[in-house]
Amino acid sequence: MSVLAAVLAVTAPATAEPTFAMAWFGRDGRLLVSVSPDGRGWAPPVRHGSLIRSANGPALLFSSQYGWRVFWLTPDGARIGMSRGFGNARRGVKFGPPRFVEVPAEHRPFQAPPVRPAAVFDGRRWVIAYSNRTPGRITVGRSGTRRGGGWTFETIEASRGWMTPPAIAHGNGAFLLAYAVPAPGGAELRMRRSPDGSRWSKPFKPRISGRTAEALSLAPVQGPVLAFAGGRFLLAVTNRRDKAAPRFLYRYDLSSSANGQEWSPLAGGFVAWSTTRAAVAMAVRPTGGCTLVAVSSSRPSGGLSARNIHIRHGVTRTDGCQRARTIRWAPLNAPFSVRSMLDRFVAVAYGNPHRR
């Protein structure tokens, strides 16, 4: 029995198909993917071929019709890499040979510090968003087909300075784009809506419990993340808990909204150690209303100063899940080689390969 099968045999029944997948690029730039049937027990990460490598972070998502997709920006920012994956919590998720799309010079991303793209599928096309190399701009790329061909790019003016990685989601017939802009003492949250991923509204300030989201004092180094499930958009934002908190101690707050204008806070916010890079990600399990929030931790583990991966589990819309709590990496949180350690960004997604 393989290591993957041995781990999952203990944590889930052999028939478990719904799958959480987590992807990141290790210290050597290679793609690593770990899977879990429930977000509690995780299989050791599987390293992919040398052709899939990047200094930037990946974007991971699942389509019931087209399977798993991973997108990334090459180290020089000149191309978008993409690969299709197959598998589930029993067999693991493995990605095939990558394909590449040339990015026009004016739409290339930041190189220092590296960025990660956000990606979404609306049933007709793949759409990605990332911070442009020109400060204050976001590039949105749209594929012309479901298979990811015929890409077009456009730039959105977003702010007057450097921004954290943007987030994008699709639901209720519209795209929602979220990003943080510089502000005195921190950052402010902005959003835009689009019916097709090409025509975007003017930026607006989302409101949470009757006050603008900027009052949350977003951590300027951590980007927001978005998801959509059960007719609601879900938002996770990162805040410094207070000025007296340690440098790497951040608070993660969860909210939901039908249209992106008004947001309702959800139980399940939590405080965690994390790196100063935007390494938070979110995946939604539609049944039960649970959200899985993955955070890379800057806290030394096992006597090493290398960053490790820690996971949080939070409540979204129902009481069917426990309150936010730490879920240990199985087994014993991180017994794999230093080259597999998280370099910068982590991406998570939920998929059910047998649901059509």
Task: Read off the pLDDT of residues 301-339 as tens digits, 9 standing for 90 and up.
Answer: 444 444 566 677 766 544 456 566 655 443 323 444 555
Architecture of domain 3-351: 6 Propeller (2.120)
Question: Residue 83's pLDDT band (boundaries 50, 70, 90)?
Answer: very high
Tokens (6 digits) for 189 = 């949250």
Strand partners, 350: 20
What is the model's pLDDT at position 333? 39
92 near 33, Cβ under 8 Å? yes
Is it the case that residue 276 has pLDDT exceeding 70?
no
Count other Cβ atoms within 10 Å, centred on residue 144. Answer: 13
In sequence order, what are the residues at sequence separation of 6 or more whose Cβ sits closer than 8 angstroms to the Cβ of residue 169?
A: 120, 175, 176, 226, 227, 228, 233, 234
What is the model's pLDDT at position 95? 92
Can you give the pTM of this predicted structure? 0.86
Count other Cβ atoms within 10 Å, centred on residue 219. Answer: 23
What is the model's pLDDT at position 182? 78
What is the model's pLDDT at position 201? 93
Question: Residue 245's pLDDT band (boundaries 50, 70, 90)?
Answer: low
Cα–Cα distance between 132 and 137 in angstroms, integer?
Answer: 5
Using CA atoms, how far residue 320 sits from 20, 41, 227, 289, 310, in Å, is 18, 19, 19, 7, 22
Per-residue pLDDT tens digits for 85-140: 988 888 889 999 899 999 999 999 877 667 789 999 998 899 999 988 888 889 99
Question: Residue 239's pLDDT band (boundaries 50, 70, 90)?
Answer: confident
What is the model's pLDDT at position 140? 95
Per-residue pLDDT tens digits for 20-72: 898 888 777 788 888 888 777 778 788 887 677 787 789 999 988 889 999 99
Summarize the confidence of residues 223-237 as an average pLDDT.
87
Question: Residue 187's pLDDT band (boundaries 50, 70, 90)?
Answer: confident
Tokens (6 digits) for 73 = 């920006």
Domain ranges of the chain: 3-351
